[in-house]
A and B are shown apart, each in its own frame.
Chain A
Amino acid sequence: MSSVPPEPGSAKPDPILVVDDLRRRFGGLVAVDVDHVEIQRSSITALIGPNGAGKTTFFNLVTGFDEPDAGRWTFDGRPMQRLPPHRVARGGMVRTFQLTKALARMSVMDNMKLGAPDQRGENFFRALVPSFWRAQEAEVEARAESLLERFRLTRLRDEYAGALSGGQRKLLEMARALMSDPTMVLLDEPMAGVNPALGETLLAHIQSLRDLGKTVLFVEHDMDAVNEISDWVVVMGEGRIIAEGPPEAIGNDHVVIDAYLGSHHDAPATLEEEQRQLDELTEATARESE
């Protein structure tokens, strides 16, 4: 990726997801307005941006959960617009949700098994004859066991998903998405609510996905996590892609700083100015604590 210029809409050597002229309006508000963006195959791309930037809406659009007002996009070379969400998922692009969707009154194991694709027993008529699907069910269960093990959820396998903590649900949702062995995963804030130690293992998982050749696009507000694992960072602001680049470069990009802090903030002009503001602040806090 070193040859890719760090600018919005830059071309990637081997893009898996290519989006053009994607727009979504909610009344007067333009939630997503992306001219062009490419996501590199077998890499980890972080999608960052302030609250309301349109990251979740972008996810919803490319995975078929929401319909754009305009736009085209291809996944792995195939045009994807107007495909219903289940077809997108079957095509190998699986997403998780910002507001976790654990299936509360089903066991953790059943949540996992649901993620497996092409199950014979999901056909109505074959469902009635267990011998048609028992063998496959055993395979699915074995796969679920190993994923639960990796995500340290084995202890909870027979628990109702509704009884899990918020962080555990995040883990379950991610593990469940991996049941189908997808080509690309879109994770909407996978770290939110997960404790730091577990967060580290989660990051390690995401990295291992890339090492298996999978593509990861994830939304995250924690910049340390973004810097730690992502190969590339895409920044959204008010629906647009406002910056792109390797993580080292993004933190210093003035466009990004403007987007997060508001473009009207007055950046300290000089070093002296900055020092003066800092002193004022220290004084103020000292006064308050008296």
Chain B
Amino acid sequence: MDWGLIVSETLRAAVGQEAIVFALAAIGLNLHFGYTGLLNFGQAGFLAMGAYSTGICVEYLQWSLWAGVGVGIVAAIVLALILGLPTLRLRADYLAIVTIAAAEIIRLIARSVTFGHITGGSSGINGYADAFYELNPLGDGTYGFGPWRFDDNRLWVLMVGWGLVGLSSLVVLLLVRSPWGRVIKAIREDEDAARSLGKNVYAYKVQSLVVGGVIGAFGGMVFAIGNQSVQADNYGTATTFLALTAVILGGTARVPGPVGGAMILWGLISFTENILRQASAEGLLPTAIISGTQVGIVRFMLVGLALMALPIFRPQGIFGNRREITFETR
């Protein structure tokens, strides 16, 4: 087995496009779940809003890609309001039910034949994001060092993507260190206590849902523009739960948590995949147990096993605070 290749692929994946997409999704979810205590199980729906807005604006409406980015932000805000306004006055579980359903509805509508002329149906929208690559200041060629060597277009996506991750993290950092952040943490701990101190709990929950949703939509835009492709099935429930995994892996209610979590998650996925592929190619794995085509599935099983080690050895996540999780919260 070529361990050098396995290690370098792992290191590449840790800074790759998927890591960025899931870091953004997870930063938004961390604001919802980690800081405000909101159960948003439909983050994939917010990613879809970002992705489809860019695709539809360019291909169907014939607008510019940048108009699509603006529309994507607005669409995420509107989705947050539609989901939040009726449910955020109710018990926490209602938001969970409504968001998980809404995200699936969005995905099914997007891949339906009825709206196929707008969304591209099950084949999606492809090759529409040239405007982004035309802005690439890097000349043709390969850049980087060690395992991190990328061609100019890939590097351009990664630069902008990590820029967005940095910016989003900064916004969240400023928010959670402010009196605003104190209120949302209080809501997470006990809504009624926050109310008894004169805080408009409902308004804060709506704000948190909107901000985290917009950050998620940026993740969707990176996903779509980086692939030059919008595919409905990329925005299923698995996407939400992988993002949630990144949050918990990194440590909830920690600003670097979702970023580190996403990097480790995608590093881990690449690591297991490469080991399995090589082992399978070299005939180290009996075909009765696993054939080459099953590698994609089996890698997630192994990743799952690795993730199970987390609550056992480090229940607070990578960046978490052990003291904090020892307090029961009702």
A and B bind: yes
Give A contacts to B, CB under 8 Å: 63, 65, 84-87, 89-90, 94-97, 101-106, 110, 113-115, 117, 119-124, 127-128, 130, 133, 137, 160, 162-163, 176-177, 179-180
| B154 contacts the other chain (CB 8 A) | no
Contact between A86 and B195, CB atoms less than 8 A apart: yes
A104: contacting residue among B171, B175, B327, CB under 8 A: B327
Q: A85-B192, A106-B182, A124-B175 are in contact. List 16 more A-B contacts (CB 8 A).
A: A65-B196, A89-B196, A94-B196, A96-B196, A101-B192, A106-B186, A110-B185, A114-B183, A114-B194, A114-B199, A137-B179, A160-B324, A162-B327, A162-B328, A163-B327, A180-B197
Residue of A nearest to B211 (CB): A124
List CB contacts (< 8 Å) of B177-217 with chain A: 177-183, 185-186, 188-190, 192-201, 207, 211
| Count of chain B residues with a beta carbon within 8 Å of a chain A beta carbon | 34
Give B contacts to A, CB under 8 Å: 171, 174-175, 177-183, 185-186, 188-190, 192-201, 207, 211, 253, 323-324, 326-329
Contacts of A84 in B (CB 8 A): 195, 200
Q: A103-B185, A127-B181, A163-B327 are in contact. Are A114 and B175 (CB under 8 A)?
A: no
Contact between A89 and B190, CB atoms less than 8 A apart: no
> A72 → chain B, closest Cβ, in Å?
22
Q: A104-B189, A128-B175 are in contact. Are A90 and B182 (CB under 8 A)?
A: no
Contacts of B174 in A (CB 8 A): 127-128, 130
Contact between B324 and A130, CB atoms less than 8 A apart: no
Contact between A105 and B189, CB atoms less than 8 A apart: yes
Contacts of A177 in B (CB 8 A): 196-197
Cα(A87)–Cα(B200), bound, Å: 8
Contacts of A89 in B (CB 8 A): 195-198
> A264 → chain B, closest Cβ, in Å?
38
Contacts of B207 in A (CB 8 A): 124
Q: A113-B182, A127-B178 are in contact. Are A104 and B198 (CB under 8 A)?
A: no
Contacts of B197 in A (CB 8 A): 86, 89, 94, 114-115, 176-177, 179-180
Contact between A86 and B199, CB atoms less than 8 A apart: yes
Q: Which 5 pairs across A and B sit closest by C-beta, in order of nearness? A: A162-B327, A121-B179, A127-B180, A127-B178, A89-B198
Contact between B327 and A117, CB atoms less than 8 A apart: no
7 example contacts (A-B, Cβ-Cβ < 8 A) are as follows A90-B198, A103-B189, A105-B253, A114-B194, A128-B174, A128-B178, A133-B178
Cα(A96)–Cα(B199), bound, Å: 15
Contact between A122 and B179, CB atoms less than 8 A apart: yes
Cα(A223)–Cα(B323), bound, Å: 39
Contact between B178 and A97, CB atoms less than 8 A apart: no
A101: contacting residue among B171, B196, B328, CB under 8 A: B196
Residue of A nearest to B174 (CB): A128
Contact between A117 and B198, CB atoms less than 8 A apart: yes
> A88 → chain B, closest Cβ, in Å?
8
> B30 → chain A, closest Cβ, in Å?
15
Q: A86-B200, A160-B324 are in contact. Are A103 and B179 (CB under 8 A)?
A: no
| Residues of B contacting A: mostly | helix
Residue of A nearest to B210 (CB): A124
Cα(A142)–Cα(B207), bound, Å: 29
Q: A127-B174, A160-B327 are in contact. Are A121 and B180 (CB under 8 A)?
A: yes
Cα(A121)–Cα(B192), bound, Å: 21
Q: A86-B201, A114-B186 are in contact. Are A124 and B193 (CB under 8 A)?
A: no
Cα(A110)–Cα(B182), bound, Å: 7
Q: A94-B197, A130-B174, A130-B178 are in contact. Are A106 and B185 (CB under 8 A)?
A: yes
Q: A105-B329, A130-B174 are in contact. Are A86 and B198 (CB under 8 A)?
A: yes
Cα(A128)–Cα(B180), bound, Å: 9
Residue of A nearest to B202 (CB): A84
Contact between B328 and A104, CB atoms less than 8 A apart: yes
Contact between A104 and B329, CB atoms less than 8 A apart: yes
Contacts of A86 in B (CB 8 A): 194-195, 197-201
Contacts of B190 in A (CB 8 A): 101, 103
Contact between A97 and B192, CB atoms less than 8 A apart: yes
Contacts of A119 in B (CB 8 A): 179
Residue of A nearest to B190 (CB): A101
Cα(A110)–Cα(B324), bound, Å: 14
Residue of B nearest to A122 (CB): B179
Contact between B178 and A95, CB atoms less than 8 A apart: no
Contact between B179 and A95, CB atoms less than 8 A apart: no
Contacts of A63 in B (CB 8 A): 196
Contacts of B198 in A (CB 8 A): 86-87, 89-90, 94, 117, 180
Contacts of A102 in B (CB 8 A): 193
Q: A128-B171, A162-B327 are in contact. Are A101 and B193 (CB under 8 A)?
A: yes
Contacts of B182 in A (CB 8 A): 106, 110, 113-114, 122
Residue of A nearest to B194 (CB): A114
Cα(A95)–Cα(B274), bound, Å: 60
Contacts of A162 in B (CB 8 A): 326-328
Contacts of B185 in A (CB 8 A): 103, 105-106, 110
Q: Chain B CB within 10 Å — which of A95, A97, A117, A121 has the most?
A: A121
Cα(A68)–Cα(B326), bound, Å: 38
> B19 → chain A, closest Cβ, in Å?
26
> A171 → chain B, closest Cβ, in Å?
15
Residue of B nearest to A89 (CB): B198
Contacts of A101 in B (CB 8 A): 190, 192-193, 196
Residue of B nearest to A120 (CB): B179
Q: A89-B196, A114-B186 are in contact. Are A122 and B324 (CB under 8 A)?
A: no
